[in-house]
Structure 1
Amino acid sequence: MSPLLALVLFTAVGLTGCTDDRTVDGDGRIELSVFWWGGERRAELTEQALRLYSSRHPEVTFRVTWQGETGYYERLATQAAAGNVADLFQIDDDYLTEYVDSRIVLDLTAYAASGALDLSQFPRGLAQYGQVGGRTVAVAAAANTPGMVYNRSLLNRLGLAEPRIGMTYDELIRWASQVTRESGGQTAGTMDASADYRALWLWLRTQGKELYQGREIGFTESDVTRWFELWQSARASRATPSAAVIQQANGGEPARQLVVTRQAATSFAWSNELTELQRYTKDDLAVVAYPGDPKGQWTQASMYWAAFRGTRHADTVVDVINFLVNDPEAGAILGTERGLSPNARIREAVNATLVDEKMKRTVAFEARMAEHFGPAPAPPPKGHARIRALLVTHAESVQFGRATPRAAAYDFVAEARAALAT
């Protein structure tokens, strides 16, 4: 399916109609292009922050483009092929390494070393997660953490304990089976996370492994077999719903998550999705860590700001990035729209102004988890997006009984290696 791109162009004070051209007027004025994905609220806030920058630096104006996430990377790839990428653009860890390898992203290492790009208030792991090959190549626009969202109201009605940080997967499955029984089979205890790459990655890290080792996979066929068998056992004990129900949520769309459709008491998500998920149900939702040792988790970038290697105004672009992530006024404007501020001081100030109870819970969860975080791995290599899709395909083949865990693991590992080799 090829959804229509939701492309919106802004014209406002300090912002002009959109092209990807980078221009310098004869009077020394600089015009920078900026490109990101997101909704209208993100656009409104980002535009406001950029206007604030222009008010302090009248010589700098912005041409901005934004659109929905669907089709964003196709458009960015088209721009890259033409050598016409925006000076400043949003990217995530699915594609960061690929754009570094393609020499599209500006190396920010020297700016970080000189202090022109100040990462001193970033959690160490978050600054590290913007590095590829030891070089700083992107800056987290916000921070996020995987979280297991659960239906607190349902558990209260059933008189059951809430899930806790540090519970093992075996403990989760036993607890989930009890939820299914106590609900009379109306609600399964947990979503089946066998297709969730985040869950697989964190599960591997608790065993001293990684999803990737450099440009290679960091797991074996035996590891994936055990992962698929774990969830096969969960389905057999009725800890999870049927494969047909599970499949509805494997794509990750918030409105289809089983915790809001009441088909499961938990869903695996990003912690900052708690507020959005809450919109779809009247039951009270809460968030806890994914099962396993929380040291397997790390502070992740919800998305990054990156600069185009071909920009004619590298110093100015870096100054804009520094402003967006470190300026208190910019931080107050941007709030939590992209996630929690990467700057610890700004995050604390923003947190004090929050009125949304679910976002307060998210912030409290992140703060609690930060005490346990382990070191950050390198961002995923080129091919990560393909491997995410392959995991869903092969996990579903086991869920529906079309393949055994071992056969699906064999195929997944073979195809994952091929994806990284291309």
Structure 2
Amino acid sequence: MKKKWTALLLSLVMGASLTACGGAAEKPDSGAAQSGTNSSTAAAGDAVKLRIVWWGSQERHDATQKALALYSQKNPNVTFESEFSGWDGYFDKLGVQFAARNAPDIIQMDAAYLNEYVGRNLLADLGSINVADMDKALLDSGKVNGKLYAMPLGSAAFGMVYDKSVIEKIGLKAPEFGWTWDDYYKFGQEAKAKLGSDKYVFVDQSSDLYDYTAYQLSQGKGQVFTDNKLTIDKDTWLGYMKKQDELRKAGITTPPDMTVTDKELDPKLDSVINGAALVRHIFSNQVGSITGLKPNALDFVSLPKGQQTGGWLKPGMFWSVNKESKHQEEAKKFIDWFINDAEAGKLLGLSRGIPGNKKVVDALSPSFGDSDKTSLAFINKIAPDAQPFVAEPQGWGNFKKDYKVIVEKLMFGKATPEQAYDELMKKAKEYDAAAKK
């Protein structure tokens, strides 16, 4: 599956790169590009208001609002009530809305929660949507038990961003794609020596399960979830956490009080944006957002590797439809238009990753800006050796938050790595038991 997805993705993004560099872009097929709601049919229909919710940066918010306005222009009977937020608290609020049977019609879904929401029978089957031009392997990422419950809106690569302007200023060699964990630690020591006591090299992201997942993969110890169970390798986890503690004590990573207030892509609270640190993790679909916040200062690199690479490709996010929506068919028509319409694609750009529809990518590529080209280059460099992405099993959607809480105790010195590991395993047993009910 990994090789197939990687090959398909590479062919898609390489084709887009060529057209972005002056190659002839394939003209979008008018039939595929205009699939979805027919304007005249929609105009004659009953008035429909669709509630739609998503998380993301201001860039994604602005692009989505423009697309919604265009859809309403083409379909005068359809209007939108949009709800937009950052990632923090998004699924907490959504869970409350579903419990109150007041959830939106169209929901931006994440792979970590997909199995859980399908298992609770909350999402509609999207099998009627036209997917003729969608990347099949990417499309499969939105399926559960063979049915499509989540329409992938793009693919993203997991890597790192660094402040090249500061690195150049202090006279260090910048990280390179393919760097190793030894390179990473050496860079941390050398950069810290030049930065002084009040600046840090790495944002401490050891409480993020994705960062540990990448580390375990790089050490050849496999996935963190296997056969619907948590499979954290104890020795690898303890070694990783002890090393992170060394980095904190050496002032190489951000101190705990700064770490817990760090907020990715926030103009004031993102430690790389505000200049407190040099390096943090990033997904390729966030390139435009972060470069917009700090123009001409940043560059991108893969996650460090050990025995093998640690970064992966993943569906950036999905659209799903509330199974209890009174406007399911209109919601599906909108999603059909969203993924297939070239004009919509141009408004949305790469705000949700590389679109899964090659014809849309081809239509987009001649107008790619610098950040779009950077995002494509980023994903192209990571794709050949990328690890497969494994989503959290059904019932484990909130585990990432519990993991964060447990590791933060360790960061503040309120638990040893061994104690934190034991608490983690205890929490995993609770999830196992709940999943079996």
TM-score range, shorter chain: 0.7 to 0.9
1:148 match: secondary structure: strand
- 1: distance between equivalents of 2:200 and 2:101? 50
Q: 1:86 to 1:264 in 2, by over 3 A?
A: closer
Unaligned runs of 5+ in 1: 1-23
1:274 to 279, 284, 287: 287
TM-score where L is the length of structure 2: 0.77
- 2: distance between equivalents of 1:297 and 1:53? 40
The residue that corresponds to 2:167 in the other structure is: 155
The residue that corresponds to 1:4 in the other structure is: none
The residue that corresponds to 2:205 in the other structure is: 193
1:260 match: secondary structure: coil
Q: 1:235 to 1:84 in 2, by over 3 A?
A: closer
Q: Pairwise mapping of residues 7-406 of structure 1 onto structure 2 (< 5 A)?
A: 29=46, 31=48, 33-38=50-55, 41-51=62-72, 54=75, 61-69=78-86, 72-108=90-126, 110-111=127-128, 116-118=129-131, 120-122=133-135, 124=137, 126-206=138-218, 207-249=220-262, 251-252=263-264, 254=266, 255-281=268-294, 284-292=297-305, 296-311=310-325, 314=328, 316-355=330-369, 357-385=370-398, 387-406=399-418
- 1: distance between equivalents of 2:96 and 2:409? 34
User: Larger deviation: 269-278 or 135-144?
Assistant: 269-278
1:95 match: secondary structure: helix
- 2: distance between equivalents of 1:153 and 1:247? 25
In the TM superposition, residue 186 of structure 1 has moved relative to its aligned partner by 4.8
In the TM superposition, residue 281 of structure 1 has moved relative to its aligned partner by 4.3
Aligned residues: 385
Letter in 2 for 1:196: D
Alpha carbons 1:326, 1:346 under 8 Å: kept: yes
Deviation string 1:107-135 (CA, Å, 9 cap, x unpaired) is 33x44xxxx431653272x3232223443
- 2: distance between equivalents of 1:97 and 1:408? 27
User: Larger deviation: 172-181 or 337-346?
Assistant: 337-346
Q: 1:67 to 1:183 in 2, by over 3 A?
A: closer
Alpha carbons 1:140, 1:303 under 8 Å: kept: yes
- 2: distance between equivalents of 1:396 and 1:71? 18
User: Larger deviation: 37-46 or 323-332?
Assistant: 37-46
Alpha carbons 1:190, 1:239 under 8 Å: kept: yes
- 1: distance between equivalents of 2:255 and 2:322? 46
Which fold has the larger relative contact order, with Cα–Cα distance below 8 Å and residues 6 or more apart in sequence? 2
In the TM superposition, residue 172 of structure 1 has moved relative to its aligned partner by 0.5
1:371 match: secondary structure: helix
- 2: distance between equivalents of 1:88 and 1:359? 27
Q: 1:105 to 1:174 in 2, by over 3 A?
A: same
In the TM superposition, residue 192 of structure 1 has moved relative to its aligned partner by 2.2
Deviation string 1:291-328 (CA, Å, 9 cap, x unpaired) is 22675433323321012224566555434322211221
- 2: distance between equivalents of 1:228 and 1:417? 21
2:414 match: secondary structure: coil
1:259 match: secondary structure: coil
In the TM superposition, residue 238 of structure 1 has moved relative to its aligned partner by 4.2
In the TM superposition, residue 401 of structure 1 has moved relative to its aligned partner by 2.3
Letter in 2 for 1:45: K
Unaligned runs of 5+ in 2: 1-40
In the TM superposition, residue 228 of structure 1 has moved relative to its aligned partner by 0.7
Alpha carbons 1:177, 1:188 under 8 Å: kept: no
Letter in 2 for 1:44: Q
Letter in 2 for 1:370: A
- 1: distance between equivalents of 2:337 and 2:418? 50
Q: 1:245 to 1:82 in 2, by over 3 A?
A: closer
Deviation string 1:262-310 (CA, Å, 9 cap, x unpaired) is 2222112333333433455467111112222675433323321012224
2:367 match: secondary structure: coil
Alpha carbons 1:155, 1:161 under 8 Å: kept: yes
- 2: distance between equivalents of 1:333 and 1:138? 22
Q: 1:406 to 1:419 in 2, by over 3 A?
A: same
Deviation string 1:20-79 (CA, Å, 9 cap, x unpaired) is xxxx99x8647362411355514522313422652xxx7x62443323246654553344
Alpha carbons 1:49, 1:333 under 8 Å: kept: no
Alpha carbons 1:106, 1:306 under 8 Å: kept: yes
- 2: distance between equivalents of 1:358 and 1:43? 18
Task: Give the root-mean-square deviation of aligned CA atoms.
Answer: 3.1
- 2: distance between equivalents of 1:318 and 1:399? 45
TM-score where L is the length of structure 1: 0.79
